[in-house]
Structure 1
Amino acid sequence: MSTAVTMGQTARKGVDADRLLTVVCVGLPLLGLVLFFLYPMVIVFLRSVTVEDGYGLANYRDVLGSKGFWRATGNSLMMGGATTAISVLLGFVIAQGLYRCAFPGKWVIRAVIVLPLLAPSLVQALGLIFLLGRNGIVSRALGVEIEIYGFWGLLIANTLYALPQAVMIIGAALVLLDARTYEAAEVMGASPSRQFRDLTLPAARFGILNAAFVCFTITITDFGNAAVIGGDYSVLATEIYSQVVGQRNFNMGAVVGIMLLLPTVISYAIERQAMKRQQIGQTTGQVPYIPSFAPLRDMSIAALSLVICAAIVAVIGIVVYASFVTLWPYNMALSPKHYDITLAGGYSSLRITIMISVMAAVGGTLAVFLLGLGLRRLPQVVAAPIQLLAAMPAAVPGMVLGLAYILTFNSTATPLYLLYGTAALIAIVNFYHYHTQSFLTLMTGFRQLPPALEEAAGSLGAGLGRTAIDIVAPFVAPMLVSVFFFLFMRSMVTLSAVVFLTTPDLSVAAVTIMRLDNAGLTSQAAAFSTCVMAVVCVALLGMKGTLASLQRRTRRKGAA
């Protein structure tokens, strides 16, 4: 009898320990979301309605009555629409070539298309200036002066920056199309053009729609390219920067931030619906499509894809090349002198950025893992609103989140004021800027985890902690690795979310590049950009190597 009582007490202790650990797993990340996302967004809204005698809509009346605001809004919408149309069209062509055509050298296209993601957004603008600016290689070779600053230069830079997103999203939709459908169409005598019109386009429509809204959001919220090559073509992102940094008008900056938030929230909501529709339309057991060679189709798409890739290589490659040119464009001899950077803090900001990126990656990966682990133990009615909150940061532009942080943490009214001006706060804003992507990536891994594994561990007496370490973490290890390196690489190159949070003693790499360019030290900006891209490329290779090692280990275990 005493043995039975002891076993019952042990079981109750185990249950209580699991419940406590579940509360901790959910509670800590949830507290972080409330303090570092929800609370700052409430503050930015309150500041937008703050007037001299309390609260009111005077700030909104002033902004909405400003011709400058409507000009920036019109420019943002026009730029977003034009960039989206071109990016989605070209992205569809490249994705079609990668997944629906048969030609050699696809690895080259896959490698090149991700290059814009490995650099700060303003690198595209720098590259265009070196190519097409007043002293650009193309301009001098043709003997003409190309006006690259303004709408057209910004359109090209934004298109190159958004294109990889379009290719990946549309490619993810095309790769899921079932080969059996096309085999049935061929048996029925449908021509390739008819198959494309009646099968490919309808099946990929939600992927195309998803890509369109992602590209639109990226474009209207980007600050780096607009700051470098936008010229007099003002957009909402530069308008916020002007209000906050130029005029120190935080309330007006908050109003413009809220106005910028509206189209991105609408875009995000539609994008999520499109993603759900695409997931609903997916069926299990698809047969992978293996394309057959069609000379006219495949060679045409391959040629166009390679031309686009050549443009990407030219824009990014010229930045690397210009960093070694002695005096652009008058002395083209190669020299490493531009890497001797002493202004704008020198290389200290690069070291700080690496440290911040590691902090964001380690802390962020742990936070989303704990949250995903805890949500599995909660009833759906409780987990659903938490999942909704965890997915909300994707709807907030980096400029708005950074503005919210400076309004929230630069105030002595909160103990969190101690974080202002620290590397920890920049690491936190980087994590919550990309929280949604990290959370959804890891949740995909959790959904693939067979419940029987956890049930078997529980039946053997393992608690939640032991199960998490021995069962869950090894199973989702590839997702954890992907999230870690994703957060690291994005933290290395992000600009919009951190531009308001840097101080004279604490800067980050992307801001240093912008300051060097603003000071007229374009070659040194190119050198610093090259260093940042080198760090990110090493991280990418590290991720590939780690994932390959995990796959080999899994195969060995399976063979054993």
Structure 2
Amino acid sequence: MNTATWSLAPVRREGAWRAVFVALATLPLLGLLVFVAWPLALIVLRSITGDDHAWTFARYAALLGSPRILQAGWHSLAMGATVTAISVSAGFAVAFALHRSRLPGKAVMRFALLLPILSPSLVQALGIIFLLGRAGLVHQVTGWNFDLYGFWGLVFANACYGLPQVVLIVSSSLAGTDRRYYDGAEVLGASRWRQFLDITLPQCRYALVAAAFVVFTVTVTDFGNAIVIGGRYRVLATEIYAAVAGQLDFGLGAAIGTVLLLPAVLSIAVERMVARRSGRVADGAMVVQAPRNIARDVGLGLVAFVALAPILATTAIVVYASFARLWPYKLGVTLANYHVNLADGFAPIVTSLQVSLLAALVGTALLFSLALAQRRMSGPLAAVSSFLALLPAAVPGLVLGIGYLVAFNDGPLSGWLYGSIAILVACNFYHYHAQGYLAMVAGLRNVPAALEEVAQCLGAGTARRIGEVVLPYAAPTLASVFFFLFMRSMVTLSGVVFLVTPALNLAAVAVMQLDMNGSVSQAAAYATCVMVVTGLAVAAMRLAAARASKMVKRSRHVA
């Protein structure tokens, strides 16, 4: 009897373990169904039904028959292709300078790459206006005039915004290349140029393809820069805003939004293909050490300066303009611009802090639960769970915002959800759900499976196994995901621009409103406050990551 009981105990514990993991997955998957799949389905449904709820493709026929929409679509494609070509070329050069050179000042380069991530997307457009606009600093000093509003202004602003994303993607590929490939090429007598063509480029080709699709998708669906510096150069993102916010035509907005889903879905498909083909970096890979080469470093330094100087200049000029008495005529320093003329003053920043903290706390908990449950899933359930978790990556922010309008403006959830902090928290979290999920899954791979098995054999309960085995190893990832969600929630604009109300505004939207009202210096002051908050979050993230790493080291020592 005792023998039978002992033999059945591990089976029962494993059954309880699986039941807990199913329970952990239920709430995150339910949230994805309610806040992603349902709004997305309603957008597509609204685009193919008329006002009488009959099935029709009249809205798509209207799009194809509208010269304005067709022109906006062509503008989006042309701008997206140009920005992608510039960003990928410059981003590869900057990433190469960071990882394959002995350039001094790499900390400054990384700081410049961090700036667009810390600020709302329209900050680059604001900086370009302050610097090169008709009343910009360059015009005041030199008298030169630039045709800034339109295609080239958008290309400039979006390239500054897309460059850090290219560097981030390509850097992971360059950092993972094993030095022994280059050592073997040296032995065979291959020149530096031959090594670049035969080793470096093939190793980075999938990362470059992924970066190109990411930048193209972000550019085509970006709203912030387009509304500030686009002028008469209309793109699909501004057409959606005009249809929904200006004309209250949700059907037309849904149809344009469905069209914008196509490049995003294609981008996700390509990224998945790239992830499969690129494979994983082998354990024990040796880091490439760049040899001394003055000509290479000088060339890469010049390219990096040309690529990063605009980011530094546009951000610095925005901060400076926030202290100017009357830009650009009275440049004396004053704090008057920080007394904004919005009815709610700095309340949007407080609201953004509340929303961002809630999105980070709730989001990190849900992502941890889902990633933890995913470790024990298999078969169709695992495939469906992974699909739902990655689905938000294919939904641009503007489209998600329209989906929330359609889904939660009326119905059973509208009474307590629409116009509340909850809908803003949900929009911010699910907008970046896929990135957080991938980071969490990658982080949980660091948990030693053998250590979990030992804890199970010793009879540790589910809660104890999670608390004493999984959490210590996952702590750095939890900290990174928390601060990632917080920072992106603070600066995002496109997803929430349709969801704010006069009583519940957000900081990024307030920057746009101040600029549209002509209060450009106050818009700069608001944007500077946002950058300061996100900058402090980065500092806190590094401190938390350092402490979490120490915790992992202690856990490994004990193990």
Whether these two folds match at TM > 0.5 is yes
* Aligned counterparts of 1:20 and 1:369: Cα–Cα separation in 2: 16
* Aligned counterparts of 1:273 and 1:16: Cα–Cα separation in 2: 35
CA 1:98–1:12 in 2, change beyond 3 Å: closer, same or farther? closer
* Aligned counterparts of 1:73 and 1:132: Cα–Cα separation in 2: 27
Q: CA RMSD in A?
A: 1.7
Residue 444 of structure 2 corresponds to 446
- How far apart are 1:223 and its partner, in Å? 0.3
Determine if contact 2:475/2:552 at 8 Å carries over to the other structure.
no
Determine if contact 1:369/1:442 at 8 Å carries over to the other structure.
yes
Determine if contact 1:410/1:420 at 8 Å carries over to the other structure.
yes
Residue 20 of structure 2 corresponds to 21
Q: Report whether the alignment pairs 1:87 with 2:81.
A: no
* Aligned counterparts of 1:262 and 1:554: Cα–Cα separation in 2: 42
Residue 329 of structure 1 corresponds to 328
Residue 252 of structure 2 corresponds to 252
Q: What SS does the corresponding residue of 2:331 show, helix, strand or coil?
A: strand
Q: What SS does the corresponding residue of 1:285 show, helix, strand or coil?
A: coil
CA 1:4–1:556 in 2, change beyond 3 Å: closer, same or farther? closer
CA 1:328–1:100 in 2, change beyond 3 Å: closer, same or farther? same
Determine if contact 2:48/2:58 at 8 Å carries over to the other structure.
yes
Residue 499 of structure 1 corresponds to 497
Residue 359 of structure 2 corresponds to 360
Compute the TM-score of the two structures, normalised by the length of structure 2: 0.96
- How far apart are 1:8 and its partner, in Å? 8.3
Q: What SS does the corresponding residue of 1:448 show, helix, strand or coil?
A: coil
Indicate which of 461, 465, 468 corresponds to 2:466.
468
CA 1:12–1:205 in 2, change beyond 3 Å: closer, same or farther? closer
Moved more, 176-185 or 480-489: 176-185
* Aligned counterparts of 2:378 and 2:243: Cα–Cα separation in 1: 45
Q: Structure 2 regions of 5+ residues with no counterpart?
A: none
Residues 373-412 of structure 1 correspond to what in structure 2 (within 5 A)? 373-411=372-410
Residue 211 of structure 2 corresponds to 211
Residue 67 of structure 1 corresponds to 67
* Aligned counterparts of 1:164 and 1:366: Cα–Cα separation in 2: 28
* Aligned counterparts of 1:108 and 1:229: Cα–Cα separation in 2: 28
Residues 40-55 of structure 1 correspond to what in structure 2 (within 5 A)? 40-53=39-52, 54-55=54-55
Determine if contact 1:25/1:370 at 8 Å carries over to the other structure.
yes
Residue 511 of structure 1 corresponds to 509
Residue 176 of structure 1 corresponds to 176
* Aligned counterparts of 2:279 and 2:423: Cα–Cα separation in 1: 36
* Aligned counterparts of 2:372 and 2:262: Cα–Cα separation in 1: 32
Residue 165 of structure 2 corresponds to 165
Q: Report whether the alignment pairs 1:110 with 2:125.
A: no
Note the alpha carbon deviations across 1:529-550, whole angstroms, 9 max, x for none.
Answer: 0000000000000000111122
- How far apart are 1:10 and its partner, in Å? 7.4
* Aligned counterparts of 2:18 and 2:177: Cα–Cα separation in 1: 43
Moved more, 374-383 or 12-21: 12-21
Indicate which of 542, 547, 550 corresponds to 1:549.
547
* Aligned counterparts of 1:219 and 1:476: Cα–Cα separation in 2: 33
Determine if contact 1:344/1:516 at 8 Å carries over to the other structure.
no
Compute the TM-score of the two structures, normalised by the length of structure 1: 0.96
Q: Identity percentage over the alignment?
A: 46
Question: Aligned AA for 2:360?
Answer: A
- How far apart are 1:551 and its partner, in Å? 2.4
Indicate which of 414, 423, 426 corresponds to 1:425.
423
Q: Report whether the alignment pairs 1:369 with 2:377.
A: no
Note the alpha carbon deviations across 1:358-390, whole angstroms, 9 max, x for none.
Answer: 000000000010011112122244212211211
Q: Report whether the alignment pairs 1:293 with 2:295.
A: no
- How far apart are 1:18 and its partner, in Å? 2.9
* Aligned counterparts of 1:557 and 1:390: Cα–Cα separation in 2: 30
Note the alpha carbon deviations across 1:302-358, whole angstroms, 9 max, x for none.
Answer: 122133322211100100000000011111110000001231521000000000000
Q: What SS does the corresponding residue of 2:332 show, helix, strand or coil?
A: strand
Moved over 6 A (4+): 3-13
Q: Report whether the alignment pairs 1:320 with 2:308.
A: no
Q: What SS does the corresponding residue of 1:292 show, helix, strand or coil?
A: coil
